[in-house]
Structure 1
Amino acid sequence: MNQSHSRLIAAYERMMERVHSGLAELEQVEADALPELRRRIDEAAELSVRLGELTREEAELIGAYVRRDVEDAGHYLAETGHELKDWLRFDLELVEDRMLEWFGTAADHTRLAFLQFSDELERASHYRAGEITGPGTLRCDACGAEVALHGTSVILPCVACGGESFKRIAADATS
Protein backbone atom coordinates (compact mmCIF):
# COMPACT_ATOMS: atom_id res chain seq x y z
CA MET A 1 0.00 0.00 0.00
CA ASN A 2 1.44 3.35 -0.96
CA GLN A 3 1.67 6.43 1.26
CA SER A 4 -1.23 8.16 -0.52
CA HIS A 5 -3.53 5.18 0.10
CA SER A 6 -2.49 5.06 3.77
CA ARG A 7 -3.27 8.75 4.14
CA LEU A 8 -6.70 8.38 2.51
CA ILE A 9 -7.55 5.31 4.62
CA ALA A 10 -6.65 7.26 7.76
CA ALA A 11 -8.82 10.14 6.52
CA TYR A 12 -11.77 7.76 5.94
CA GLU A 13 -11.46 6.48 9.51
CA ARG A 14 -11.22 10.03 10.95
CA MET A 15 -14.27 11.07 8.96
CA MET A 16 -16.25 8.04 10.20
CA GLU A 17 -15.20 8.87 13.77
CA ARG A 18 -16.33 12.49 13.38
CA VAL A 19 -19.67 11.41 11.91
CA HIS A 20 -20.15 8.86 14.69
CA SER A 21 -19.38 11.33 17.47
CA GLY A 22 -22.41 13.43 16.54
CA LEU A 23 -24.98 10.68 16.05
CA ALA A 24 -26.17 10.34 19.67
CA GLU A 25 -28.80 13.03 19.27
CA LEU A 26 -30.21 11.31 16.18
CA GLU A 27 -32.24 9.03 18.44
CA GLN A 28 -34.50 12.06 18.99
CA VAL A 29 -35.06 12.69 15.27
CA GLU A 30 -35.19 9.25 13.65
CA ALA A 31 -37.32 10.44 10.72
CA ASP A 32 -34.64 12.98 9.78
CA ALA A 33 -31.78 10.51 10.19
CA LEU A 34 -30.66 10.20 6.56
CA PRO A 35 -30.48 13.94 5.81
CA GLU A 36 -28.78 14.49 9.19
CA LEU A 37 -26.27 11.71 8.49
CA ARG A 38 -25.46 13.24 5.11
CA ARG A 39 -25.04 16.67 6.72
CA ARG A 40 -22.67 15.25 9.34
CA ILE A 41 -20.58 13.55 6.66
CA ASP A 42 -20.37 16.86 4.78
CA GLU A 43 -19.33 18.63 8.00
CA ALA A 44 -16.68 15.99 8.71
CA ALA A 45 -15.34 16.41 5.17
CA GLU A 46 -15.27 20.21 5.54
CA LEU A 47 -13.39 19.89 8.83
CA SER A 48 -10.79 17.68 7.12
CA VAL A 49 -10.24 20.46 4.56
CA ARG A 50 -10.07 23.23 7.20
CA LEU A 51 -7.54 21.23 9.22
CA GLY A 52 -5.42 20.69 6.10
CA GLU A 53 -5.75 16.91 6.30
CA LEU A 54 -7.23 16.64 2.80
CA THR A 55 -7.75 18.75 -0.28
CA ARG A 56 -11.37 19.64 -1.03
CA GLU A 57 -11.42 17.06 -3.84
CA GLU A 58 -10.04 14.32 -1.56
CA ALA A 59 -12.50 15.20 1.22
CA GLU A 60 -15.45 15.03 -1.20
CA LEU A 61 -14.22 11.65 -2.48
CA ILE A 62 -13.71 10.19 1.02
CA GLY A 63 -17.08 11.64 2.08
CA ALA A 64 -18.73 9.87 -0.85
CA TYR A 65 -17.08 6.59 0.19
CA VAL A 66 -18.25 6.98 3.81
CA ARG A 67 -21.78 7.88 2.64
CA ARG A 68 -21.89 4.88 0.28
CA ASP A 69 -20.76 2.41 2.94
CA VAL A 70 -23.08 3.67 5.69
CA GLU A 71 -26.05 3.88 3.30
CA ASP A 72 -25.33 0.38 2.02
CA ALA A 73 -25.23 -1.00 5.57
CA GLY A 74 -28.40 0.82 6.56
CA HIS A 75 -30.19 -0.36 3.42
CA TYR A 76 -29.23 -3.96 4.13
CA LEU A 77 -30.32 -3.77 7.79
CA ALA A 78 -33.62 -2.08 6.90
CA GLU A 79 -34.53 -4.50 4.13
CA THR A 80 -33.47 -7.76 5.76
CA GLY A 81 -33.75 -7.22 9.49
CA HIS A 82 -30.44 -9.03 9.80
CA GLU A 83 -27.50 -7.93 11.90
CA LEU A 84 -24.41 -5.94 10.93
CA LYS A 85 -22.29 -9.11 11.05
CA ASP A 86 -24.38 -10.51 8.19
CA TRP A 87 -23.71 -7.40 6.08
CA LEU A 88 -19.99 -7.69 6.79
CA ARG A 89 -20.18 -11.42 5.98
CA PHE A 90 -17.51 -12.53 8.37
CA ASP A 91 -16.83 -12.92 12.06
CA LEU A 92 -17.17 -9.63 13.91
CA GLU A 93 -14.14 -10.51 16.03
CA LEU A 94 -12.00 -9.82 12.96
CA VAL A 95 -13.15 -6.20 12.77
CA GLU A 96 -11.76 -3.48 14.99
CA ASP A 97 -14.17 -2.51 17.78
CA ARG A 98 -14.19 1.16 16.76
CA MET A 99 -15.14 0.29 13.17
CA LEU A 100 -18.03 -1.85 14.41
CA GLU A 101 -19.23 0.94 16.67
CA TRP A 102 -19.09 3.51 13.85
CA PHE A 103 -20.94 1.40 11.30
CA GLY A 104 -23.34 -0.11 13.83
CA THR A 105 -24.42 3.24 15.24
CA ALA A 106 -24.74 4.94 11.86
CA ALA A 107 -26.60 2.03 10.28
CA ASP A 108 -28.94 1.59 13.25
CA HIS A 109 -29.87 5.27 13.38
CA THR A 110 -30.67 5.34 9.70
CA ARG A 111 -32.49 2.01 9.27
CA LEU A 112 -35.99 3.55 9.13
CA ALA A 113 -34.86 6.45 6.99
CA PHE A 114 -33.56 4.02 4.39
CA LEU A 115 -36.93 2.38 4.08
CA GLN A 116 -38.33 5.80 3.18
CA PHE A 117 -35.58 6.56 0.66
CA SER A 118 -35.18 3.14 -0.97
CA ASP A 119 -35.20 4.54 -4.53
CA GLU A 120 -31.97 6.44 -3.74
CA LEU A 121 -30.18 3.41 -2.40
CA GLU A 122 -29.58 1.25 -5.46
CA ARG A 123 -26.39 3.15 -6.28
CA ALA A 124 -25.03 2.59 -2.76
CA SER A 125 -23.85 -0.95 -3.41
CA HIS A 126 -21.56 -0.32 -6.40
CA TYR A 127 -17.83 -0.40 -5.69
CA ARG A 128 -14.82 0.19 -7.98
CA ALA A 129 -11.14 -0.70 -7.73
CA GLY A 130 -9.19 2.24 -6.35
CA GLU A 131 -12.00 3.38 -4.04
CA ILE A 132 -11.78 3.19 -0.27
CA THR A 133 -14.32 1.24 1.76
CA GLY A 134 -14.92 -0.02 5.25
CA PRO A 135 -15.01 -3.68 6.25
CA GLY A 136 -17.17 -6.22 4.42
CA THR A 137 -17.17 -8.72 1.59
CA LEU A 138 -17.19 -7.70 -2.07
CA ARG A 139 -17.91 -9.91 -5.09
CA CYS A 140 -16.27 -9.26 -8.46
CA ASP A 141 -18.91 -8.43 -11.08
CA ALA A 142 -16.81 -10.09 -13.79
CA CYS A 143 -15.96 -13.50 -12.28
CA GLY A 144 -17.77 -13.75 -8.93
CA ALA A 145 -14.61 -14.04 -6.83
CA GLU A 146 -15.05 -12.73 -3.29
CA VAL A 147 -12.72 -10.62 -1.18
CA ALA A 148 -13.19 -10.05 2.56
CA LEU A 149 -12.01 -6.67 3.82
CA HIS A 150 -11.50 -6.68 7.60
CA GLY A 151 -10.86 -2.95 7.98
CA THR A 152 -10.79 0.25 5.99
CA SER A 153 -9.10 -0.65 2.71
CA VAL A 154 -8.39 0.43 -0.84
CA ILE A 155 -10.36 -1.80 -3.19
CA LEU A 156 -7.85 -3.60 -5.39
CA PRO A 157 -8.59 -5.15 -8.78
CA CYS A 158 -9.87 -8.72 -8.55
CA VAL A 159 -7.01 -11.14 -7.90
CA ALA A 160 -8.75 -13.82 -9.97
CA CYS A 161 -9.52 -11.87 -13.16
CA GLY A 162 -8.38 -8.26 -12.75
CA GLY A 163 -11.98 -7.01 -12.73
CA GLU A 164 -12.53 -3.55 -11.27
CA SER A 165 -16.26 -3.54 -10.47
CA PHE A 166 -17.67 -5.11 -7.31
CA LYS A 167 -20.89 -5.44 -5.36
CA ARG A 168 -21.06 -5.77 -1.58
CA ILE A 169 -22.55 -9.08 -0.50
CA ALA A 170 -23.98 -10.27 2.78
CA ALA A 171 -23.95 -13.59 4.61
CA ASP A 172 -27.31 -14.57 3.14
CA ALA A 173 -26.28 -13.73 -0.45
CA THR A 174 -26.31 -16.59 -2.90
CA SER A 175 -23.92 -17.09 -5.77
Structure 2
Amino acid sequence: MSDEQNNRLVDAYNRMLERVKGAIIDAEQNAIPNLAHNIENAREKAVELGELTREEAEKVGNYLKRDVENAGEYLNESGSELGEWFRFDMQLIEDRLLEMFRLIADRTSIELSELARRADALGEWHTGEITGIGTLECKACGEQVHFHKSGHIPPCPKCHETRFRRVSHSGE
Protein backbone atom coordinates (compact mmCIF):
# COMPACT_ATOMS: atom_id res chain seq x y z
CA MET A 1 0.00 0.00 0.00
CA SER A 2 1.48 3.38 -0.99
CA ASP A 3 2.08 6.24 1.44
CA GLU A 4 -0.50 8.27 -0.48
CA GLN A 5 -3.13 5.57 -0.03
CA ASN A 6 -2.18 5.11 3.65
CA ASN A 7 -2.55 8.85 4.26
CA ARG A 8 -5.85 8.88 2.39
CA LEU A 9 -7.27 6.15 4.65
CA VAL A 10 -6.03 7.84 7.85
CA ASP A 11 -7.57 11.12 6.68
CA ALA A 12 -10.82 9.27 5.92
CA TYR A 13 -10.81 7.79 9.46
CA ASN A 14 -10.57 11.30 10.91
CA ARG A 15 -13.29 12.69 8.60
CA MET A 16 -15.60 9.79 9.47
CA LEU A 17 -14.99 10.45 13.17
CA GLU A 18 -15.90 14.13 12.58
CA ARG A 19 -19.13 13.07 10.85
CA VAL A 20 -20.09 10.74 13.69
CA LYS A 21 -19.50 13.63 16.11
CA GLY A 22 -21.67 15.93 13.99
CA ALA A 23 -24.44 13.36 13.80
CA ILE A 24 -24.36 12.86 17.57
CA ILE A 25 -24.58 16.60 18.22
CA ASP A 26 -27.53 16.87 15.79
CA ALA A 27 -29.35 13.95 17.41
CA GLU A 28 -28.65 15.01 21.01
CA GLN A 29 -31.86 17.04 21.41
CA ASN A 30 -34.14 14.27 20.15
CA ALA A 31 -32.82 10.97 21.51
CA ILE A 32 -29.73 8.97 22.40
CA PRO A 33 -27.93 8.49 19.09
CA ASN A 34 -27.48 5.09 17.57
CA LEU A 35 -23.72 4.63 17.15
CA ALA A 36 -23.87 1.91 14.51
CA HIS A 37 -26.31 3.98 12.44
CA ASN A 38 -24.10 7.07 12.69
CA ILE A 39 -20.99 5.15 11.65
CA GLU A 40 -22.92 3.69 8.71
CA ASN A 41 -23.98 7.22 7.69
CA ALA A 42 -20.33 8.36 7.87
CA ARG A 43 -19.34 5.38 5.68
CA GLU A 44 -22.02 6.18 3.12
CA LYS A 45 -21.02 9.85 3.05
CA ALA A 46 -17.38 8.91 2.35
CA VAL A 47 -18.51 6.74 -0.60
CA GLU A 48 -21.03 9.33 -1.83
CA LEU A 49 -18.36 12.05 -1.85
CA GLY A 50 -15.93 9.75 -3.68
CA GLU A 51 -13.43 9.85 -0.80
CA LEU A 52 -13.33 6.05 -0.54
CA THR A 53 -14.55 2.99 -2.35
CA ARG A 54 -17.35 1.09 -0.63
CA GLU A 55 -14.83 -1.59 0.46
CA GLU A 56 -12.44 1.02 1.90
CA ALA A 57 -15.27 2.83 3.70
CA GLU A 58 -16.42 -0.46 5.22
CA LYS A 59 -12.89 -1.21 6.41
CA VAL A 60 -12.31 2.27 7.88
CA GLY A 61 -15.78 2.28 9.48
CA ASN A 62 -15.03 -1.06 11.15
CA TYR A 63 -11.76 0.33 12.52
CA LEU A 64 -13.62 3.34 13.93
CA LYS A 65 -16.35 1.16 15.44
CA ARG A 66 -13.75 -1.13 17.02
CA ASP A 67 -11.92 1.78 18.66
CA VAL A 68 -15.10 3.42 19.98
CA GLU A 69 -16.32 0.06 21.32
CA ASN A 70 -12.96 -0.47 23.02
CA ALA A 71 -13.18 2.98 24.67
CA GLY A 72 -16.69 2.12 25.86
CA GLU A 73 -15.56 -1.22 27.24
CA TYR A 74 -12.77 0.45 29.20
CA LEU A 75 -15.04 3.18 30.55
CA ASN A 76 -17.74 0.67 31.45
CA GLU A 77 -15.37 -1.72 33.26
CA SER A 78 -13.13 0.78 35.02
CA GLY A 79 -15.29 3.81 35.60
CA SER A 80 -12.18 5.78 34.70
CA GLU A 81 -11.93 8.93 32.66
CA LEU A 82 -11.36 8.64 28.93
CA GLY A 83 -7.98 10.35 29.27
CA GLU A 84 -6.68 7.42 31.33
CA TRP A 85 -7.58 5.07 28.49
CA PHE A 86 -5.26 7.06 26.24
CA ARG A 87 -2.41 6.95 28.83
CA PHE A 88 -0.73 10.00 27.43
CA ASP A 89 0.03 13.38 28.88
CA MET A 90 -3.02 15.37 27.83
CA GLN A 91 -0.76 18.01 26.29
CA LEU A 92 0.34 15.46 23.68
CA ILE A 93 -3.17 14.63 22.53
CA GLU A 94 -4.79 16.77 19.91
CA ASP A 95 -7.63 18.48 21.75
CA ARG A 96 -9.93 17.98 18.79
CA LEU A 97 -9.66 14.18 18.78
CA LEU A 98 -9.92 13.89 22.55
CA GLU A 99 -13.08 15.99 22.53
CA MET A 100 -14.61 13.90 19.73
CA PHE A 101 -13.97 10.63 21.56
CA ARG A 102 -15.23 12.11 24.85
CA LEU A 103 -18.39 13.37 23.14
CA ILE A 104 -19.03 10.00 21.53
CA ALA A 105 -18.35 8.10 24.78
CA ASP A 106 -20.47 10.44 26.93
CA ARG A 107 -23.48 10.53 24.63
CA THR A 108 -23.57 6.82 23.93
CA SER A 109 -22.87 5.29 27.34
CA ILE A 110 -25.98 3.07 27.26
CA GLU A 111 -25.19 1.84 23.77
CA LEU A 112 -21.52 1.40 24.64
CA SER A 113 -22.41 -0.93 27.50
CA GLU A 114 -23.94 -3.29 24.96
CA LEU A 115 -21.12 -2.78 22.49
CA ALA A 116 -18.56 -3.45 25.22
CA ARG A 117 -19.98 -6.93 25.61
CA ARG A 118 -19.25 -7.58 21.95
CA ALA A 119 -15.83 -5.90 22.02
CA ASP A 120 -14.15 -8.99 23.47
CA ALA A 121 -14.67 -10.73 20.15
CA LEU A 122 -13.02 -7.81 18.36
CA GLY A 123 -10.04 -7.55 20.72
CA GLU A 124 -7.31 -7.93 18.13
CA TRP A 125 -5.65 -5.23 16.06
CA HIS A 126 -3.50 -6.07 13.01
CA THR A 127 -0.63 -4.49 11.11
CA GLY A 128 -1.98 -2.41 8.24
CA GLU A 129 -5.24 -1.50 9.99
CA ILE A 130 -5.95 2.04 11.17
CA THR A 131 -6.36 2.87 14.84
CA GLY A 132 -6.94 6.01 16.85
CA ILE A 133 -5.02 7.46 19.77
CA GLY A 134 -3.89 4.95 22.41
CA THR A 135 -1.49 2.14 23.12
CA LEU A 136 -1.36 -1.28 21.47
CA GLU A 137 0.67 -4.18 22.82
CA CYS A 138 2.24 -6.90 20.68
CA LYS A 139 0.58 -10.24 21.43
CA ALA A 140 3.86 -12.07 20.84
CA CYS A 141 6.45 -10.10 22.84
CA GLY A 142 4.54 -7.44 24.81
CA GLU A 143 6.22 -4.46 23.12
CA GLN A 144 3.98 -1.38 23.26
CA VAL A 145 3.29 0.89 20.31
CA HIS A 146 1.93 4.33 21.21
CA PHE A 147 -0.33 6.31 18.88
CA HIS A 148 -0.44 10.08 19.44
CA LYS A 149 -2.78 10.45 16.45
CA SER A 150 -4.76 8.22 14.10
CA GLY A 151 -2.54 6.08 11.91
CA HIS A 152 -1.73 2.73 10.36
CA ILE A 153 -0.55 -0.01 12.68
CA PRO A 154 3.03 -1.03 11.83
CA PRO A 155 4.58 -4.44 12.53
CA CYS A 156 5.96 -4.77 16.06
CA PRO A 157 9.23 -2.81 16.21
CA LYS A 158 10.77 -5.51 18.42
CA CYS A 159 9.71 -8.86 16.92
CA HIS A 160 7.88 -7.85 13.70
CA GLU A 161 4.69 -9.67 14.76
CA THR A 162 1.45 -8.32 13.28
CA ARG A 163 -1.14 -8.94 16.04
CA PHE A 164 -1.81 -6.51 18.90
CA ARG A 165 -4.24 -5.88 21.75
CA ARG A 166 -5.39 -2.54 23.18
CA VAL A 167 -3.76 -1.72 26.53
CA SER A 168 -6.18 -0.05 28.93
CA HIS A 169 -3.76 0.40 31.85
CA SER A 170 -6.38 0.00 34.54
CA GLY A 171 -4.53 -0.62 37.76
CA GLU A 172 -0.98 -0.30 36.38
TM (norm. structure 1) is 0.90
Maintained 8 Å contact 2:70/2:116: no
1:29 aligns to what?
Answer: 31
Map Cα deviations across residues 82-135 of structure 1 (whole Å, 9 max, x no partner): 011111111121111111111111112222323244431213432111000100
Does residue 68 in structure 1 map to residue 70 in structure 2?
A: no
Structure 2 distance, partners of 1:48, 1:117, is 24
Q: 1:27 to 1:85 in 2, by over 3 A?
A: farther
Does residue 109 in structure 1 map to residue 103 in structure 2?
A: no
TM (norm. structure 2) is 0.92
Maintained 8 Å contact 1:71/1:124: no
Structure 2 distance, partners of 1:128, 1:113, is 25
Which amino acid in the other structure matches residue 12 of structure 1?
Y
How far is the alpha carbon of 1:154 from its aligned partner? 0.2
Q: How many residues align?
A: 170
Matched-pair identity in %? 42
How far is the alpha carbon of 1:27 from its aligned partner? 6.6
Instruction: Give the 3-state SS of the residue equivalent to 1:137 in structure 2.
Output: strand
Larger mean Cα displacement after TM superposition, 20-29 or 47-56: 20-29
Instruction: Give the 3-state SS of the residue equivalent to 1:162 in structure 2.
Output: coil
Q: 1:124 to 1:156 in 2, by over 3 A?
A: same
2:75 aligns to what?
Answer: 77
Structure 2 distance, partners of 1:99, 1:26, is 19
2:5 aligns to what?
Answer: 4
1:52 aligns to what?
Answer: 50
Structure 2 residue runs without a partner (length 5+): none
How far is the alpha carbon of 1:10 from its aligned partner? 0.3
Q: 1:129 to 1:20 in 2, by over 3 A?
A: same
Structure 1 distance, partners of 2:155, 2:60, is 19
Q: 1:116 to 1:46 in 2, by over 3 A?
A: closer
Maintained 8 Å contact 2:68/2:105: yes
Map Cα deviations across residues 13-37 of structure 1 (whole Å, 9 max, x no partner): 000000001112347534xx4xx11
